[in-house]
Structure 1
Amino acid sequence: MSIEPVGGKHGLRAFIEGRLSSHGANAPQYVAFRDRDFDVEPPDEVKLIPLAGKPIFLTHRACIESYLLDVGLMRTYWTANAGSPGWRHGQPPKTDEIDGLLTTAAKEISPYQAVRWALASIKPGPRWPEVRTTWTDGSGDLPTSLDYESCLGEAEGLVGSSRANTDGVTVELLKERATAYKVRFEIDAFWGERRYLVWFHGKDLLRSMQRKLPISLKHFCEWATGNVDWKDHEDLVELAGKVN
């Protein structure tokens, strides 16, 4: 068995259609795993999300970075570095304080996430590229304004520019879907059960959180990838069972 990184969803498609298909009938068996992003709504049950008819599975959380957004892990990293030469950030805040900052960071991007989900939901199919899920440079690049009406206006521009070539994709449908997601993300249980860790894109949440902490979350994530306990996440445990 070999494990080979192929990049994101487009790199995975190129790998399957190019390298694997070149083997013809002798193509090796494979199991692929990639970020869910906004491609499908996460189920209530924590598990891998299969793509129909293919040995491809999506993360339950939006992306790999979402699994690193762990307050305890963040505090462990901060504490471990607090005594290092050149560390200028002192001791870490208390766990409750970091958790509060994470929740606040999530609430600030909530309108943007509602609009991103709305854009994703009106795409006729996964291969339809005309309407992107953001008007920025991509996940992790937050818009200048996170206000709901501002985000909706930007999204309307994306939809309007593609309507001439795509039937059934309208600004009216976008508004309807955006309202539904906005309401979903305002429910108390959504926050009490910390569902934002599953629904919101981890790269966006990391960027929002970075605005509230003095430490480099890029450096934290580099450290966290080797220190996160994957056994804490049922979908990752399921993945381990598929590749072993």
Structure 2
Amino acid sequence: MIKRDVLGRYRGSVLGVLWSFLNPLLMLLVYTLVFSVMFKQQWQGGSGSRTEFALLVFAGLLVFNIFAECVQRAPSLILHNTNYVKKVIFPLEILPWMSLGSVLLHATASLLIWLLFHFLLIGTPPVTALLLPLVLLPLILFSMGISWLLAGLGVYLRDVGQVVSAFTTALLFVSAVFYPVNVLPEAYRSLLLLNPLAMLIEQARDVLFWGVPIEPQSWAISLVTSCAVAWVGFQCFQWMRNGFADVL
């Protein structure tokens, strides 16, 4: 199902799955042009180079896009697969996993682009980059919990998709994607860290770019919180699924 979902996204296009690599490459170039050339922004605490800024922003986007794409697709997952609800006995709870698998494949393509640019423009990435899967584990569980919840709500409330789209756009600017957390005043910094994505984005930058290993305590807190969110989301989905067939 993941394979079908990935191939279906580019069905009919000339370049096909090559867009999985071209899209992140174009996104990297656009953000570099807009923020470091037009707005002349620099990363506080870094060397101030455009290459560094682009790679740091792109590392944050890589993490954010995994969550954003999952939750944006979640409200329509059941609605676009009504045949599984009405005609056959099917484990509907795997549909968010299918969506996540497709998103992770595209994230892998983005990561390869990031690693290639880092190698060509700066040098070999730090060995701590191998810890990225551990950083992404809480993100995956958190995204799944929210996706299960939204997939169920999307069947009963069709406006959920519009709300989620607007919410993820706003979330992009309050998740420390375009700036480090330490540039904010202390009062706002603690408030920003209530957003679980901000902490995960900072951890991803640490292991990918700065060569800083994962801080065990904060990672453990993220993992426990994400497990709780995943469990609550799954239970809500199982409770709501009983009425799917009647509503659809």
Q: TM-score, normalised to structure 2's length? A: 0.29
Q: TM-score, normalised to structure 1's length? A: 0.29
